[in-house]
């Protein structure tokens, strides 16, 4: 039996002009050092340095270098190349797409990663139904805890299962062949649709959405007058004649001045 000969990749010209950059300061220290070595290897390669020199300077050998370059030349969802972003360790360039058929899970809940996405890709009407559940208000969020509680979730899940049956799916098909009928997965998809609908509606109305951290309030005891000072940062003192607005809180009394 003969072993097939693997064809080695030939050196090719590489231009980094169109590669989107990356702020390495945002990376953790161990990841940053690996990223810098990879970036140096790619830059040396683009300048025509030999593969032996690149391996000696960066520790990155031929196969690993070509694999990184192939990843960086893949198109990103933003329309540009992945570029330097693909050199970050553990960064997934291509999203996960399940190819195996779904397992029938009667006594277990694990082992079907990606199968719900498969279902929506095969039947776009189901994805449309999930979006309509959120936009029509049949399912909505009610204030409860940090994330809120979905109202009418059970009815929405029932409608989703009915839509699956109308498409010809039965007890031998996903999601009707699962122990929990994929209720949790459907709930996560509905919550994502609700969140997306809220953001789009708020942006259309020109509403500025504040993060939760900006809405948290902390109080402490005020022991004497003017012990607590709260500034309204709409206008800041610049020392150049610009007006300043301030708000002073003393106990429960609040006074504002300019």
pLDDT surpassing 70 at residue 230: no
Q: How confident is the model at residue 195 (pLDDT cuts 50, 70, 90)?
A: confident
Highest average pLDDT, of 9-13, 211-215, 242-246, comes from 9-13
pLDDT surpassing 90 at residue 246: no
Residue 79 sits in the same domain as residue 134: no
| Predicted pLDDT at 235 | 47
Q: Does a structural domain hold residue 69?
A: yes
Q: Residue 204: its pLDDT value, please? A: 47
80-84, 98-102, 210-214, 220-224 — most confident range:
80-84
Domain shared by 196 and 233, yes or no: no
pLDDT at 91 over 80: yes
pLDDT tens track for 47-70:
999 999 999 999 999 999 999 999
Q: Say if strands 228-230 and 149-151 run parallel, antiparallel, or are unpaired.
A: unpaired
Mean local confidence (pLDDT), 215-239: 54
**Separation of first and last alpha carbons in the chain:** 89
Contacts 24+ apart (CB under 8 A), 99-106: 102/174, 102/177, 104/172, 104/177, 104/178, 105/177, 105/178, 105/179, 106/179
No. of helices (H) and no. of strands (E), the chain: 8, 5
Domains identified in the chain, total number: 3
Q: Is 188 inside a domain boundary?
A: yes
Task: Return the closest-CA partner of residue 103 out of 184, 187, 175, 188.
Answer: 175
Is residue 89 within 8 A of residue 60, CB to CB? The reply is no
Same domain, 66 and 141: no
Task: Residue 58: give the domain boundaries.
Answer: 24-87
Q: What is the mean pLDDT of the chain?
A: 75
Q: Let me know if residue 106 belongs to a domain.
A: no
Measured CA to CA, the distance from residue 85 to residue 77 in angstroms comes to 12
Q: Is residue 12 part of a domain?
A: no
Q: Does 60 map to a domain?
A: yes
99 part of a folded domain: no
CB atoms closer than 10 angstroms to residue 89: 13
In a domain, 223, yes or no: no
180 and 124 share a domain? yes
Q: With 60 as the cut, is the pLDDT of residue 122 above it?
A: yes
- Give the pLDDT mean for 108-113: 50
Using a pLDDT cut of 90, give the percent of the chain over it. 19
174 and 245 assigned to the same domain: no
Regarding whether 142 and 61 lie in a shared domain, the answer is no
């Amino acid at each position: 039996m003969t072993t097939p000969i693997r064809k080695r990749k030939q050196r090719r010209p590489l231009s980094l002009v169109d590669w989107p950059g990356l702020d390495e300061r945002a990376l953790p220290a161990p990841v940053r050092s690996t990223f810098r070595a990879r970036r140096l290897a790619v830059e040396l390669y683009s300048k025509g340095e030999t593969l032996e020199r690149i391996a000696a300077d960066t520790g990155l050998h031929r196969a690993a270098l070509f694999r990184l370059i192939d990843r960086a030349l893949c198109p990103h969802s933003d329309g540009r190349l992945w570029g330097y972003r693909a050199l970050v360790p553990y960064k997934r360039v291509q999203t996960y797409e399940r190819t195996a058929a779904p397992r029938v899970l009667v006594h277990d809940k694990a082992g079907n990663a990606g199968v719900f996405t498969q279902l929506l890709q095969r039947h776009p009407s189901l994805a449309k139904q999930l979006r309509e559940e959120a936009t029509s208000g049949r399912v909505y969020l009610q204030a409860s805890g940090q994330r809120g509680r979905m109202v009418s979730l059970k009815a929405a899940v029932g409608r989703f299962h009915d839509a699956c049956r109308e498409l010809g799916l039965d007890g031998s098909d996903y999601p009707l062949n699962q122990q929990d009928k994929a209720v949790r997965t459907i709930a996560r998809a509905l919550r994502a649709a609700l969140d997306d609908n809220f953001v789009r509606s708020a942006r259309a109305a020109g509403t500025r959405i504040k993060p939760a951290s900006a809405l948290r309030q902390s109080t402490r005891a005020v022991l004497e007058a003017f012990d607590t000072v709260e500034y309204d940062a709409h206008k800041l003192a610049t020392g150049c004649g610009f007006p300043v607005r301030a708000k002073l809180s003393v106990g429960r009394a609040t006074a504002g001045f300019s």
